[in-house]
Chain A
């Protein structure tokens, strides 16, 4: 392509995210992902800042950009005011737009994630809702969660919730009119194409 750096720099978030990294490594020292994975946000900033197209493309095709947990602990500690976590957002967007994410194991997880979180947003208007936190897929939620899901209709009114009810309140059913407006926003702003491309696009064999 030869213009990955231009694409990355054209993201409106770039200006705030990477001004001039001096490679001090504070971001890596504070980073929870760097403790858990073979991950180094300092090196990512360095690679992007150097502007070597080949290296940047390699990064976009790798597992590396998918290790960040988006806590943004890097932001307040960077002496230059950079936001390595937001650089990651840009790299992930470009990786998905270019189809490179399919070439890494961690990148391919986006397909499953889109099938859950992306579909939740477009189908029910929530990112997360008790109906989609299945106890069998969430053993860490413990027996209390299993109990709550089994009894949610009987118990949740006690907490003032309006589970699947009309009108306002926690866990209300989001009306068809609101859902239509939400989906229209996705259609107008490219969110729907992005969703469909991850789930069914040319990169998804």
Chain B
């Protein structure tokens, strides 16, 4: 009976042949995560995934900041689908949770209002002389990793276990609002029983922290962050989450959405500098990883190629707990091997 109900909380995730769409935010703050995802698909899982140089923004941030009209976003989405169609793919994998929500919304509207689909086809042809098919499957990259979590586990060098105590690491997971709140059926576990990241954590040896504000927004708020004077909204929401998770003493946070990953990291720095408050015992903050970084670390990828050094909350203490080896001298080296001067240290947050 329980399985029958749980089946309703699953989604279909394609097995192979994906068209990858990059994310403005993930490229900006976590470029190593996109690289790691493609590497995992191609090298660990032997899957086919295509990365077209002619892609561009989906306009998702502009759409939710009410700067880009619906008909425009719809046609921009159609152009991205036309690239997928041109290359013979049917499975679309957008790297951003906001994009995932936008694509899902546009497809939903086309299904509900076929006249809008006709109009979009007309607009796209008029603007770009292009045609498109609607993807057969739209999955967030985390869905794909979740789908292959056991296959990846077999290749992993490390597990989410504290090597000093032998106990599972306590992990806070955050799926991001637009992953499943707009279209709950499109997310693993829907909005109320988030399982896309929890499934990875459990399969890889960790323990999920189920804290009261688990489903609360990270606080991005689009215009509430993008306008400097509104940012109190954003930091307040992150603070609410941090206060709620603090008593559980999580070892790290893993996030689905690139924006959420950035905010959960940067607002910890801000709160430490403004209020001398950190949410771990020692004053270093709680490390925040993207799911690609979490998987990549366990597969033995170099932390400094994943980009952990460009997080503000540093992660060496977590790497030590897992037993991941790393070379501290490599951390601030340029790609050509030059040693760069390290970033300034924050006044309060320990790094």
Is B338 engaged at the interface, CB distance under 8 Å to the other chain? yes
Shortest CB distance A173–B (Å)? 9
Chain B binder among A18-26, A41-49, A53-61, A158-166: A158-166
Bound Cα distance from A69 to B31, whole angstroms: 26
Closest B residue to A148 by beta carbon equals: B310
- Report the number of A-B residue pairs with Cβ-Cβ less than 8 Å: 258
Bound Cα distance from A109 to B219, whole angstroms: 18
Is B290 engaged at the interface, CB distance under 8 Å to the other chain? no
Is B165 engaged at the interface, CB distance under 8 Å to the other chain? no
Q: Please determine whether B223 and A189 come into contact, CB atoms closer than 8 angstroms.
A: no
Shortest CB distance B113–A (Å)? 6
- Would you call the interface of chain B mostly helix, strand, loop, or mixed? helix
Q: Please determine whether A182 and B340 come into contact, CB atoms closer than 8 angstroms.
A: no
Shortest CB distance B220–A (Å)? 7
Q: Please determine whether B335 and A181 come into contact, CB atoms closer than 8 angstroms.
A: no
Bound Cα distance from A190 to B70, whole angstroms: 10
Shortest CB distance A176–B (Å)? 11
Q: Please determine whether A155 and B334 come into contact, CB atoms closer than 8 angstroms.
A: yes
Shortest CB distance B275–A (Å)? 13
* Chain A CB within 10 A, most for which of B27, B62, B221, B232: B27
Q: Please determine whether B124 and A185 come into contact, CB atoms closer than 8 angstroms.
A: yes
Q: Please determine whether B79 and A73 come into contact, CB atoms closer than 8 angstroms.
A: no
- Would you call the interface of chain A mostly helix, strand, loop, or mixed? helix
Shortest CB distance A146–B (Å)? 7
Chain B 304-341 residues near chain A, CB threshold 8 A? 304-307, 309-312, 333-336, 338, 340
Binary interface encoding of chain A residues 186-201 relative to chain B, with 1 for a CB under 8 A from any of its CBs, else 0:
1111110011001000
Binary interface encoding of chain B residues 158-202 relative to chain A, with 1 for a CB under 8 A from any of its CBs, else 0:
000000000000000000011011101000001110000000000
Bound Cα distance from A145 to B225, whole angstroms: 17
Bound Cα distance from A109 to B76, whole angstroms: 25
CB-CB under 8 A from B304, the residues of chain A are 158
CB-CB under 8 A from A175, the residues of chain B are 53-54
Known pairs A35-B240, A76-B192, A113-B67 / 16 extra A-B pairs, C-beta < 8 Å: A13-B109, A109-B230, A113-B223, A114-B67, A117-B62, A126-B28, A129-B28, A140-B235, A142-B270, A147-B310, A147-B343, A158-B304, A158-B335, A171-B28, A171-B31, A175-B53
State the A residues within 8 Å of B (CB): 11-13, 16, 32-33, 35-37, 66, 69-73, 75-76, 83, 89, 92-93, 96, 109-110, 112-114, 116-118, 121, 125-130, 133, 137, 139-148, 151, 154-161, 166-172, 174-175, 177-179, 181-182, 184-191, 194-195, 198
